[in-house]
Structure 1
Amino acid sequence: MDPQKNKNVSIIGVPMDLGADRRGVDMGPSALRCACLQEKLEGLGFVVHDQGDLRIERPKNPFGSEGNLKYLNEIIRANAELCGKVESEMKQGRFPLVIGGDHSIAIGTIKGVLKQVERLGVIWFDAHADANTAETSPSGNIHGMSLAVSLGFGHPDLVSIGGEHAAIRPGNVAIIGVRTIDPGEKKFLKEQGVHVFTMKDIDSMGMKRVVEQAIGIASDGTDGIHLSLDMDGMDPSEAPGVGTPVLGGLSYRESHLAMEMIGESRLLVSAELVEVNPILDHCNRTAKTAVSLVGSLFGESIL
């Protein structure tokens, strides 16, 4: 992001836990605000417009008439509302920073950005690929389907949010930090040509080279880059307050280097920060780490 072009940031909270079907991540927006997210951005010279939180209802029955997709109707409704909110903020010349909440909210964020940015590249930090569909998902949790939906695959009512043709191109997507992928996802990612940088790639290539390549992939012929930052991409020793931790993740410095490089590219047009679960955290450590990563993304430096 280029601060000289846009000093206005809109924070949009989405206290959603339905996509993960595990309580606690709905408190993520509050935890991030308590960790001084707004103060961090204002200290870097940004004008912050906190739009508060979207209203999320929790149905008693997770399953409707749509097979194994949990809380489908409410997730559709919430993401459609988020899509409209992101579009509205961008129309006002504001950078949308969406804070969650589970990773199902990426559907609404990306669909909203696509209303304003016709060709969008995506860098997706995550321990998981989130590329399941109803046919491949072992759990029915929609937070594990958000990337597939954003690519145009999945339940038609999810895919059609923001318009049937609102989808990102697989060749402009780079996933970083993956270390667990379901069998159906492996097949899907290979068929679609999504670029996946596993922890093995980071170990062998180094984070600098991985992020350079990811920026090149996401910016190739696009009008900007969206960052989707799932805190479980980091190692649980660094970010314990997440719902689905996986050992062997990104270190604190690797994560900061990545944010610094993406910010310095001046190609970022939107971002979301998801899966902070304060119930599983220690003294709000994960939210504080997340806010420090936002600082690096928005230009904070040592000198």
Structure 2
Amino acid sequence: MTDSTAPELRVDEPAPAWTGRTDGQGTEHLRWHQVVRPYEGARTEDRGGVVFLGFSSDEGVERNKGRRGASEGPKALRGALGGLAVAGKDSEIRAWDAGTVAVTDDRMEEGQERLGAAVTTLLDEGRLPIVLGGGHEIAFGTYQGVSNSVVRKGKKLGVLNLDAHFDLRFDPVPSSGTPFRQMLEAEEAAGTSMQYAVLGISQPSNTQILFDTAEKYGVQYMLDEDCSVTNSPEVRRFVESFLDGVDLVYLTIDLDGLPASTAPGVSAPAAYGVPLEIVQLACDIVAASGKLAVCDVAELNPKYDVDGRTARSAARLVHRIATTAQNTSAHKQEEQ
């Protein structure tokens, strides 16, 4: 059972009602909207399960000179995920929605702190938080949540970013382009270290100073042009090598790392991008590793989406991560 005396989980907007097609009430008809429950009723239940948490923010993208609209990402992603079918052993999944942390005006840093506090509470209660964004400023909030959690204590943290950008900018004002530099600086200040790796870097979208910064911090990365479907063995080796060097993983998915044909609804659509098959492969490997602590999805911008394809691509990835991670956890418990 979880500790009912744990800190209250504070959000700005309560969990919405999940909706979707209903074919019946049996497990053979199950879809996500029939599985997800409000989180406030789960705090005395056994540990485990997935908790969705929204982060509604445009501020970091605007500061980074991107196009607004990502604040509607959590709503669109919940809508796309709600109608997906949950089949077979996945029908045993436990999932809740804790609501949404919303950034108002220009108070991005305050929103990141609130997000971090919510993520810490969920981790300390033994859940797998999946945070639905929101601009990629989500990352520094999620990171704060991991860093302040008991699950981090004594463990080497690895941050795997599926993204076209390093987001290591030295801009004086934090934005969606600075979170991973902020993380690395925070680790230095605390006398700790983390391993940062990026899959899908677009060379034309990153200046030389960003590659130099990546080298300074020992960042592992693969270029998007080396991440085609035919490169899947190399991608697998890259992800597995990263996992071998860490104890705990924070997985962050920036949807602008996908091709624009797959993900048009983002702040900065990719001219090249990494195929969805490869992004899904990386997610599958991490989710099945038993090391995944938290995941977030960033940059879904419904305002610029086409036929909901970006939201549906993101929902498929979230579906795979949630079900694979929970099945992996259940298998480990059976072995014990």
TM-score, normalised via structure 2 length: 0.73
Which position in structure 2 is the counterpart of 1:48? 95
1:122–1:228 contact (8 Å) kept in structure 2: yes
SS of aligned partner of 1:19: helix
Deviations 1:113-167 (A, max 9, x none): 12221321111000111010116xxxx6610111111111xxxxxx59xx95286
- Aligned pair partner of 1:178 in 196, 201, 210: 201
SS of aligned partner of 2:236: helix
Which position in structure 2 is the counterpart of 1:96? 129
1:151–1:167 contact (8 Å) kept in structure 2: no
- Aligned pair partner of 2:54 in 13, 22, 27: 13
Deviations 1:73-109 (A, max 9, x none): x121111111111001111111111110000110010
Which position in structure 1 is the counterpart of 2:147? 114
CA distance in 2, matches of 1:41, 1:198: 34
Q: Aligned pairs, how many?
A: 267
Percent of aligned pairs with the same amino acid: 27
Which position in structure 2 is the counterpart of 1:26? 71
CA distance in 2, matches of 1:48, 1:204: 32
TM-score, normalised via structure 1 length: 0.80
Please give the residue correspondences for 1:248-259 in structure 2 after superposition, counting only pairs within 5 Å: 248-259=272-283
- Aligned pair partner of 1:124 in 152, 161, 164: 161
Which position in structure 1 is the counterpart of 2:171? 134
Q: Residue 195 in 1 paired to residue 216 in 2? A: no
> Cα distance, 1:111 vs. partner?
1.4
- Aligned pair partner of 2:285 in 256, 261, 266: 261
CA distance in 1, matches of 2:244, 2:158: 6
Cα 1:53/1:204, change in 2 over 3 Å: closer
SS of aligned partner of 2:198: strand
Opposite residue 55 of structure 1, the aligned amino acid is A
CA distance in 2, matches of 1:37, 1:115: 31
Opposite residue 242 of structure 2, the aligned amino acid is I
1:44–1:299 contact (8 Å) kept in structure 2: no
1:219–1:225 contact (8 Å) kept in structure 2: no
Q: Residue 209 in 1 paired to residue 234 in 2? A: yes
Opposite residue 112 of structure 1, the aligned amino acid is G
> Cα distance, 1:9 vs. partner?
1.1
1:127–1:233 contact (8 Å) kept in structure 2: yes
CA distance in 2, matches of 1:205, 1:6: 40
Root-mean-square deviation (Å)? 2.5
Which position in structure 2 is the counterpart of 1:62? none
1:26–1:277 contact (8 Å) kept in structure 2: yes
SS of aligned partner of 1:241: coil
Unaligned runs of 5+ in 2: 1-45, 325-336
Which position in structure 2 is the counterpart of 1:35? 80
Cα 1:219/1:84, change in 2 over 3 Å: farther
1:114–1:166 contact (8 Å) kept in structure 2: no
> Cα distance, 1:204 vs. partner?
9.9
Unaligned runs of 5+ in 1: 60-73, 153-158
CA distance in 1, matches of 2:183, 2:251: 13
CA distance in 2, matches of 1:173, 1:38: 34
Which position in structure 2 is the counterpart of 1:230? 254
Opposite residue 46 of structure 1, the aligned amino acid is I
1:124–1:228 contact (8 Å) kept in structure 2: yes
SS of aligned partner of 1:236: coil
> Cα distance, 1:250 vs. partner?
1.1
Deviations 1:232-256 (A, max 9, x none): 1111111111111121111122222
Q: Residue 243 in 1 paired to residue 267 in 2? A: yes
SS of aligned partner of 2:50: strand
Higher relative contact order (CA 8 A, sep 6+): 1
CA distance in 2, matches of 1:82, 1:271: 13
1:121–1:168 contact (8 Å) kept in structure 2: no
CA distance in 1, matches of 2:215, 2:230: 21
> Cα distance, 1:44 vs. partner?
4.6
> Cα distance, 1:207 vs. partner?
2.7
